[in-house]
Structure 1
Amino acid sequence: MTPPASPSSPVTATGASRAGGAGRLGDHTVSRIGYGAMQLHRLTEDRAGAVAILRRAVELGIDHIDTAQFYGDGYANELIREAIRPEDGVVVASKVGATPHSDGPAPMRYAQHPAELRADVETNLKSLGLEQIPLVNLRRPTTQGFGLSVTPDQVVDLDDQLAEMSALRDEGKIGAIGLSTVGADDLNRALPLGIACVQNAYSLLAREDEELLRACAAHAVAWVPYFPLGSAFPGLPKVNEHPAVLDIARALGVTPAQVGLAWLLHHDAGTLLIAGTADLAHLEANVATGDVALDSGHMATLDAIRTE
């Protein structure tokens, strides 16, 4: 699905300007504003509408799509397979470490053992219709929960997991390895294998991983924050409700969400966004974030929120 990328090319394979400019994801040049497919499950009764969102994303210059088999129990992957064409040059990133669990308290459960990681890669390959997934993130358990709980039998040593991920890469089933919900020690242990990105919960109002972000920057590892605007989960306040964000949005004539996303792009040059939506207008607003110019005064105001 992904032809060789032209280093730092400002346009995608389709000729569209890369949304948010060009960024790096491992060996790939991608749009800094990507698309997260998690919300597509909301359109299970409107498959054509879901496909239209993915096609519109490509038209808008997005060539980095983030997905997982546990997004809608394979539904998101099936949509990507249907909507995305090889000539679009889209880098599809998936993740393993959890599997669908429709009968449980959460729609997914942890699946951390090496054999489970391998099985999930195989399932992703089938549902995406690919011979190789360009990038696969290893999602580790997190103490924050996010609706999931980890049982003792799912506590697996990172080195065992990395050995399996490396084997999958050597076999050509995955192109690159990423990490999700990890700490600095995890990154340091994994760096010798070559790590393309880190996906952690992070936003303007949740910057506990600032040092980890800097470590990623030092090693040319892409920073791909999830919950970039906060969430209903504890410890992840909603960015678009903060007074300073609201004030800057009014002054610039943009939405508070655009201010929050623009701050992420300005804060670190290696950041790639994967904000998701099931609404076309919202998708277009996310892409327009790349045109939101935050000056030094805006950035100083937003940066200072961390010290409140």
Structure 2
Amino acid sequence: MSLMSRLSAVSWLVLLATVIAVGFNDFAWAQDADGGADPGAAAPAEPAAPAAVPADDGAGGETEEITQESFLSWMIRASGAFGLVLLILSFVMVALIMMNILQVRRANMLPVDFIEDFEGKLQGKDFQGAYELARTDDSVIARVLAAGLGKLNRGYAEAVEGMQEVGEDEGMAMEHRLSYLALISAIAPMIGLMGTVWGMIQSFQTIARSTTQPKPAELADGISTALFTTLEGLMVAIPAMVAYSLLRNRVNRFMLEVGIVSEGLMQRLSMAGKGRPASGGTAAATSPAAPQS
């Protein structure tokens, strides 16, 4: 079910709750109007007047009690277990976003210092130093280059294939970490929708069990649960969805740059190795995979 479908379902449920509440209010207003227009009910209404005072006081006290409750405490009370689950998901979402932001950076994937040092090794014909530099560095492009340099003695095609395999593995690992954000963005609205259904069930249960006309405050508990859980689910899902899209695009862009830069460096290294036999030696001897690691 897409996000728009879930939002449409929630909107229909909220609309149904509103129609029910308005219908009961209209029914109560009609009963009050009929009671006031009946002349025979005017006489017995006087002795019942003192009893109406404590009823009004009770209603007034209940209204004051609801008014004094803060919005946050009302939200926590109405959300219940669904709110607790969504709160835990929000903490996990923030942790995942921060972890991926710290990992998907140019300094971790394409460090400028490493590229400059590697190019310096190539210009100085220090192939052994270039291989050691790539093997000891912890960046993504260094791991890709190390995999290619390890297979360069088998040919340029084998080296490029080795780099592509490592690049795909690195990209898959990053996508795997990002997939948890996509999972949260899909689960959070469903938990909110479950809270919506539960709140509506509570409201209808109050109506079914009431022998008289239920008070609006009694119906408001279930409706508030439905609305708050829907709101909290969307508050968790929307940032997770946005963060997943932005970080995924960032990973794809960086992995593309890693592939372009690494293949360019490997091609320069291969061309330098082919030109080396003019000064003596063989191409295999100048291969960076030949030095003992």
- TM, length-normalised to structure 1: 0.19
Q: Which has more strand, going by share of residues?
A: 1
Instruction: Determine which structure has more spread, i.e. the larger CA radius of gyration.
Output: 2
Q: Which has more helix, going by share of residues?
A: 2
